[in-house]
Copies of this chain bind each other. A is one copy, B any other.
Amino acid sequence: MDPRPALNTDPHEVGARLRRMRQARGISLSELARRAGIGKATLSGVENGSRNPTLETLWAITAQLGVPLAAVLDPPADPLQVYGKAAEATLLQVFDEGPVTFELYRLRVRPGITQRSPGHHAGVTEHITVFSGTLCAGPAQRPLTAGPGEFIKWTADSEHIYTTMGEEEVHATLLMRYPLVDGV
Q: With A59-B9, A67-B80, A173-B175 as given contacts, are A23 and B181 in contact (CB-CB < 8 Å)?
A: yes
Knowing A59-B7, A59-B9, the reply to whether A151 touches B180 (Cβ < 8 A) is no
Interchain CA distance A2-B149 in the complex, whole Å? 41
Partner of A5, one of B14, B63, B77: B63
Q: A164 at the A/B interface (Cβ < 8 Å)? A: no
| Chain B residues within an 8 Å CB radius of A124 | 24
- Asked if A139 is at the interface of the complex by the 8 Å CB criterion, the answer is no
Q: State the copy count for this chain.
A: 2
Q: Is the CB of B17 within 8 A of A96?
A: yes
- A68 surroundings in chain B (CB, below 8 A): 73-74, 76-80, 91
Q: Mark A51-77, 1 if CB is under 8 A from B, else 0.
A: 011111011000100111111111111
Besides A23-B181, A95-B106, A129-B175, 13 other A-B contacts (C-beta < 8 A) = A17-B96, A19-B184, A24-B124, A54-B54, A67-B91, A67-B94, A68-B76, A68-B80, A70-B73, A70-B78, A71-B94, A93-B93, A127-B129
Bound Cα distance from A105 to B98, whole angstroms? 20
Q: Does A86 contact B (CB under 8 A)?
A: no
Residue A104 is within 8 A (CB to CB) of chain B in the complex: yes
Shortest C-beta distance, A90 to chain B (Å), equals 9
Determine which of B13, B92, B171 lies in contact with A97 in the assembled complex, contact meaning CB atoms within 8 Å.
Answer: B171
Can you list 27 pairs linking A and B with CB atoms under 8 Å apart? A1-B37, A5-B63, A8-B63, A9-B69, A11-B56, A13-B96, A17-B96, A19-B184, A20-B181, A52-B56, A66-B81, A66-B82, A67-B80, A68-B73, A70-B76, A71-B91, A72-B94, A75-B93, A97-B131, A104-B173, A127-B129, A127-B131, A129-B175, A149-B151, A150-B151, A151-B151, A173-B175
